[in-house]
A and B are shown apart, each in its own frame.
Chain A
Amino acid sequence: MDSALIPEGVERCSFKRFTLGMIIPAALVIWGLYAAYLCWFKGLNQTNMNDSYGFALWIWADLAVIAVGGGAFFTGFLRYVVGKDELKNIINFAVLVGFCCYCSAMLILAIDIGQPLRGWFIFWHANVHSMLTEVAFCLSLYLTVLAIEYLPLLLENRKLDQVPFFHNLGHNMHEVMAVFAATGAFLSCFHQGSLGGVTGVLYGRPFGMREGIFIWPWTFFLYTWSAAACGPCFTMLSCKITEMITGKKLVKDNVYNLLAKISGWMLGTYIVAKIADTLWWAIVTVPTTGFTFMEFYNNSNNFHGLWILILEIGVCGLLPVAILVRKKWRENSSLFFTAILLAVIGVCVNRWVMVMQPMAMPVMTFDQWVLYLPSWQEWATTILPVAGGIIIIALSYRYLPVFPQERELNPVEKS
């Protein structure tokens, strides 16, 4: 029934099957919206956050989706600014995933703040010294950029493309896309960095605090770098998952390979920097605050101990680096899949550590390590954008020519 909207020369499942597939994500979205309604109308008492845990699951989710959404800016940067032409075959999807991630971040922020109707005060009464201000500005501008980058793809829908104006608009936008992509990369560098700065500047919280350069703590650069490294991994991961669900090969291996290689090197350099940062922080920064490095890990209530650091740097850092950098290993599809999955987990763990631990970690000597378990409302509203993202990606895949190589890789037999 929707065949007129489906791109030419590709095969899609039946509308019924598609609808059936959308039931679970749609249900999750409804569940999430109900939780969001509770948070908006009854207040944040619906969460399990408290005065010690003002930053919790949501902020982590925000940082994580933005980090993994970094694939859009970095792939765009490689494609339009550096000129890696092969990447045109995955850029649409990268933009799409990025767009979903950034929409998620905005939505979560809108639920997270205590007075959503006053959220715009961050623009109106901006305090330029605040990292969050920088985040909000760059985030909303970059979301605009992503929307602009997504628009031409939308215009390529078979039905829309028939309108001459839309066709021309899409065509023109393609021509100047490099400018937009460069702007996006610039914005992204800043807000990814600012998000790193969010905890890095907290000089009252030794666990999060980092030294740095000018107004930027080292985490500023580490966040940008890790997003650039792990964002493409998430793009590839999503792409692989899409391939699994659709049962089709959508992007050629050489594209994966190129992106994986770049990611591997990015992740490798990042991990070196991260280790250096951790060492400097542990040996130089932390003692000036009166703490020892191990105090952050062997506190009585801290059940994960040092393992979380080993997980982040070793299992989800060095291991994927080794796989991605070595040609033979990354060409092995299961190793490749493991590597990108670990890289994505690694960046999420990093964001978790940087949000949750500075909150939990007692600073006053007579303070307690506070444990926190999110309420179902928090989980539901965190799952909401994920489910929403799945729906957007599914719709886009169904009705838009997201993968330029799809037709070539999956020729449709003319009946």
Chain B
Amino acid sequence: MFPNVWEWAWDAGHYIFFGGMWYVLAILFLGMNWCVFKAIKDTKAGKGGGHDH
């Protein structure tokens, strides 16, 4: 999972597999962060609380 684990073998299988995994994690992490930060911004801007959509 991490390159510091001793079984880590630098072969194509690992690149693809862990590449995919970190890619997905990155999307989820960035996506959620975008939502949270935008929500904080919007809240500060006084949006929400009612039914404005």
A interface residues (Cβ-Cβ under 8 A, vs B): 123-129, 133-134, 137, 141, 144-145, 148, 162-169, 171-173, 176, 179-180, 183, 186-187, 190
Contacts and interface: CB of A to CB of B under 8 A. Distances in A.
A172 B35 contact: yes
A167 B48 contact: yes
Nearest to B34: A176
A126 B1 contact: yes
B16 to A, nearest CB: 8
Given A168-B47, A172-B38, A186-B24, A129 B13 contact: yes
Interface of B: 1, 5, 7, 13-14, 17-18, 20-21, 24-25, 27-28, 31-32, 34-36, 38-40, 42-43, 46-49, 53
Contact of B24 (A124, A176, A183): A183
B47 A164 contact: yes
Nearest to B14: A128
A167 B50 CA distance: 9
Contacts of A190: 20
Contacts of B32: 148
A179 B39 contact: no
Residues of A contacting B: mostly:
helix
Contacts of A129: 13
B21 A176 contact: no
B34 A167 contact: no
Contacts of A172: 34-35, 38-39, 42
Contacts of B14: 128
Contact of A165 (B20, B31, B39): B39
Given A137-B21, A168-B42, 15 more contacts: A124-B5, A125-B7, A128-B13, A128-B17, A141-B21, A148-B28, A164-B47, A164-B48, A167-B48, A168-B38, A171-B39, A171-B53, A172-B39, A176-B31, A190-B20
A412 to B, nearest CB: 18
Contacts of A169: 35-36, 39
Contacts of B34: 172, 176
A164 B49 contact: yes
Nearest to B47: A168
Contacts of B39: 165-166, 168-169, 171-172
A13 B24 CA distance: 42
Contacts of A165: 39-40, 43, 48
Given A128-B17, A180-B31, A168 B48 contact: yes
25 contacts: A123-B1, A124-B1, A124-B5, A126-B1, A127-B7, A128-B14, A137-B17, A141-B25, A148-B28, A148-B31, A163-B48, A165-B39, A165-B40, A165-B43, A168-B38, A168-B43, A168-B48, A171-B48, A171-B53, A172-B34, A176-B31, A180-B28, A180-B31, A183-B24, A183-B28
Contacts of A168: 38-40, 42-43, 47-48
B42 A134 contact: no
Contacts of B24: 141, 183, 186-187
B42 to A, nearest CB: 4
A275 to B, nearest CB: 32
B8 to A, nearest CB: 9
Nearest to A140: B21
Nearest to B51: A161
A133 B17 CA distance: 10
Nearest to B53: A171
Contacts of B13: 128-129
B53 A144 contact: no
A127 B46 CA distance: 50
Given A128-B13, A141-B21, A183 B49 contact: no
Given A124-B5, A126-B1, A169-B36, A164 B43 contact: yes
A185 B31 CA distance: 16
A176 B35 contact: yes
Give 4 closest A-B pairs by Cβ, nearest first. A164-B48, A168-B39, A167-B48, A169-B39
Contacts of B31: 148, 176, 179-180
A190 B24 CA distance: 12
Contacts of A176: 31, 34-35
A375 B10 CA distance: 44
A167 B27 contact: no
Contacts of B17: 126, 128, 133-134, 137
